[in-house]
Amino acid sequence: MSVVKLSLVAAAALSSLVVASAAGAAAPDWSKIEGKDITLFYPAQMSWEAVLTQGDHSGASKFREGKDCRACHENEERASGGVLVAEPDLEPEPIKGKSGFLDMNVKFAHDAERVYVHVAFKPGKQPDAAMDKIFETKVAMMIDDGKIAEATRAGCWATCHDNMTRMRSGGEKEVTKYLARSRVTMTRQGGDAVKPAAEIEKMRASGEYMEYWQARLRPGQAVDVADGTVLEKRAEHTGPIVEAEATQADDTWAVTFSRKLTGAGDFTKDFVPGKTYTIGFSVHAGHTAHRFHYVSLEKTLVLDAGKADFVVKQP
């Protein structure tokens, strides 16, 4: 009897536990900031190469002619995810009982020094895929500042290739996200050899990479933050630059990321007024890894004023 009581108390304490990875940044009062709901969906094996191939995707030629992904797919995320999570041609290794989509509320703010992102989502009843043995849930954001033309048009898909780990043309070997420009040639199966190191370093130095921030979550434990870049591979910054904290209550995760607006560290994008940024979100839920996640279509962000999905203001 007393054991049951104790575990209930422990569960209650856990559900309202605040777990911070690093102190310092004073987050804004999120209750006063308006958010936006977006829907992430399960992409299965629809790689960059697949979406560019007419035989695999009827939107391919229109995309090549200039129509962006969102122009055809926005507000269809739930339906797409529902198809992709269970369609044997696109998902040969379905996870039984997995939902095809995930809703997320996103808020942004900035002060003189830092940009803050607040994401809230309910993973719901997720089957345990046992791929990531440590982290139950991982949430990430990718950012581009206009340097990567294909990211402006397709968001995260610019980094998702057919020969990555556990994709159609990949295997178990570790091949992480990359940009097509880092490869000597690209085929339907993805990119082959990486261009010479000197060329890659030149690209990186001129800002040709996507930046990512990720919070890796375990109920009741400190957030594990990872951030870095995607160019020839996913490469973590040495020591996280981004700060994150997370709370879990009633099955809803609320995660706040923050970092300096400008000069945050080597190979980070500066957030400045007047520029349009492309962002994308992902959530790995139910101990998943690799492609077995939910992703958003490309979204836009500006600082202070302008036309974008997210106008980031000083509260």
43 interacts with ligand HEC by CB under 6 A: yes
Stretch in the footprint of ligand HEC (CB under 6 A) among 50-58, 104-112, 208-216, 223-231: 50-58
Stretch that binds ligand HEC, among 10-18, 54-62, 105-113, 225-233 (CB under 6 A): 54-62
Q: Residues touching ligand HEC: how many (CB under 6 A)?
A: 18
Q: Which amino acid is at 296?
A: S
Determine if 72 is a binding residue for ligand HEC (CB under 6 A): yes
Taking the complex as a whole, how short is the minimal distance between the CB of residue 74 and ligand HEC, in angstroms? Answer: 10
Residues 6+ apart with CB under 8 A from 168: 45, 47, 50, 162
Query: Judged by CB under 6 A, which of 36, 67, 125, 202 binds ligand HEC?
Result: 67
198 in Cβ contact with 84 (< 8 Å): no
Contact 137, 284 (CB under 8 A): yes
The answer to whether 200 and 209 are in contact (CB under 8 A) is no
Interaction of residue 13 with ligand HEC, rule CB under 6 A: no
Does position 149 interact with ligand HEC (CB under 6 A)? The reply is no
> Which of 58/185 has CB closer to ligand HEC?
58
Give the angle subtended at the CA of 265 by the CAs of 293 and 213, to the nearest 5°: 10
69 binds ligand HEC (CB under 6 A): yes
Q: Which of 30, 62, 94, 224 binds ligand HEC (CB under 6 A)?
A: 62
Closest-CA residue to 101 (of 45, 44, 41): 41
* Vertex 118 angle, CA 179 and 19, to 5°: 105
How many Cβ atoms are within 10 Å of 225's Cβ, its own excluded? 22
Part of the chain binding ligand HEC (CB under 6 A), chosen from 77-85, 117-125, 216-224, 241-249: 77-85
Stretch near ligand HEC under the rule CB under 6 A, chosen from 67-75, 108-116, 132-140, 181-189: 67-75
Point out which span in 4-12, 61-69, 185-193, 223-231 binds ligand HEC (CB under 6 A): 61-69
100 close to 84: Cβ distance less than 8 angstroms: yes
Can you tell me the distance from the alpha carbon of 221 to that of 235, in angstroms, rounded to the nearest whole number?
A: 25
Binding test (CB under 6 A) with ligand HEC, winner from 17, 30, 35, 73: 73
Closest CA relative to residue 50, chosen from 232, 187, 209: 187
- Name the residue among 221, 210, 224 with its Cα closest to residue 281: 210
Q: Which of 2, 31, 58, 238 binds ligand HEC (CB under 6 A)?
A: 58
User: How far apart (Å, rounded) are the C-alpha atoms in residues 239 and 226?
Assistant: 8
Given 27, 51, 308, 311, the residue binding ligand HEC (CB under 6 A): 51
Cα–Cα distances (Å) from 266 to 56, 83, 230, 263, in that order, read 39, 40, 13, 8
Contact indicator for 63, 51 with CB cutoff of 8 Å: yes
For ligand HEC, give the closer residue by CB, 57 or 218. Answer: 57
Is the separation of the CB atoms in 310 and 106 below 8 Å?
yes
Of 101-130, which residues contact ligand HEC (CB under 6 A)?
A: none
* Closer by beta carbon to ligand HEC, 58 or else 206: 58
Nearer to ligand HEC, 8 or 71 (CB): 71
The residue range among 9-17, 22-30, 56-64, 306-314 that interacts with ligand HEC, by the rule CB under 6 A, is 56-64
Residues in touch with ligand HEC (CB under 6 A): 43, 46, 51, 57-59, 62-63, 67, 69, 71-73, 80, 83-84, 154, 157
